[in-house]
Copies of this chain bind each other. A is one copy, B any other.
Amino acid sequence: MYSLMIHGGAGSLDKLTEAEQRDYHESLNKIITEGDALLKSGRPAFEVVEVCTMMLEDDPLFNAGRGSVLNEDGEIEMDAAIMNGIDLKAGAIAGVRFIRNPIHLARLVLEKTEHVMLIGTGAQKFAKLERVPQEPMDYFLTDKRTKQWEEAREKDVTVLDLDKIDQETLPHEDPKKYGTVGAVALDKDGNLAAATSTGGIVNKHFGRVGDSPIVGAGVYADNNTCACSASGYGEQFIRLSMCKTVSALMEYKGLNGIEAANEAIRELIVKVRGMGGVIVVDKDGNCKCAYSTGGMIRAWAKEGEGVHTELF
């Protein structure tokens, strides 16, 4: 038995045209099919979540790797994290630039250092030493993201004026603001793994780090419970330790992955009025996507049950 689930972000999604929806279905279908084949052939969950996340990073449709959004300086800073349910080993990087596949760099942090998380120029130095593929700015930049950034800059001219920032009036409803990608898998050996990668939020400033590279918040995997990847308004997910919450609900309250995902989203809404969602594969192979937004871009596959893509 094996199970796989991937996501391309949560949001209202109500502004997506039919053509855009088709694009998402098509891309998700290609990636989930590839992941399904790998799991079927007996590849480990840890490898498959990395491969799927790299494919999501490579597709400019998603806000991660190529297609990442621009920060206030018109630059791209990416975050990613990966976790292995076998031994709870994790690797994470935050605030890196020019790295073709941030999730691969996160994997190298896990495998080649004694650390879990590397940030900024230090992470960049590590990437150079490890000779991971880097790309020029042109590679990451899409017309859509440049336009999005210009709009955000125009609407949001006060974003640098700290006194005027109001946490309650943030545009929580804009799905473009919290695009993230991720993958969770259970392989034939019963091992779980999770991966999450993001380009962050449009026009972000001050080296802001969201939940994606935070183990426990944007990603978690434990063979005793589940693998979980989140997408949403990152700050709320950090405050709840969202993915660890799903795991803890299984471990300490005896819920299965489906119940735990639903309960964690309920907590997200009640405790921090949070917007976003999670994908979960539990140790028994249950696949579940739960969200407080209008939709979540996702796909899943279970042994013998084919592949599925869904947006709402």
Residues in chain A within 8 A of chain B (CB atoms) = 83, 87-90, 94-95, 112-123, 125-126, 129-130, 162, 165, 167, 170, 204-210, 214-217, 220, 234-235, 238-241, 244-245, 248-249, 251-253, 271-272
**Chain B contacts for A241, CB-based, 8 A:** 215-216, 220, 241, 244
**Chain B contacts for A238, CB-based, 8 A:** 90, 116-117, 215-216
Residue among B87, B115, B167, B244 making CB contact with A206, cutoff 8 Å = B115
The answer to whether A88 touches B119, judged by C-beta atoms less than 8 angstroms apart, is no
In the assembly, how many copies of this chain are there? 2
Q: Report how far A281 CA is from B170 CA in the complex, Å.
A: 33
In the complex, which residue of chain B has the Cβ closest to the Cβ of A170? B114
| Majority DSSP secondary structure for residues of A touching B | mixed
The answer to whether A207 touches B119, judged by C-beta atoms less than 8 angstroms apart, is yes
**Chain B contacts for A94, CB-based, 8 A:** 119, 209
**Chain B contacts for A235, CB-based, 8 A:** 114-116
The answer to whether A118 touches B209, judged by C-beta atoms less than 8 angstroms apart, is yes
Q: Report how far A272 CA is from B223 CA in the complex, Å.
A: 13
Q: Report how far A170 CA is from B113 CA in the complex, Å.
A: 11
- Output the least CB separation between A248 and chain B (Å): 4
Listed by A's residue number, 30 A-B pairs whose Cβ atoms lie within 8 Å are A83-B239, A88-B271, A88-B272, A89-B239, A90-B238, A90-B239, A95-B119, A95-B122, A112-B165, A113-B206, A114-B165, A116-B234, A116-B235, A116-B238, A117-B208, A117-B210, A117-B238, A118-B206, A118-B208, A119-B209, A122-B207, A122-B208, A214-B214, A214-B216, A215-B241, A216-B241, A216-B244, A241-B241, A248-B249, A253-B253
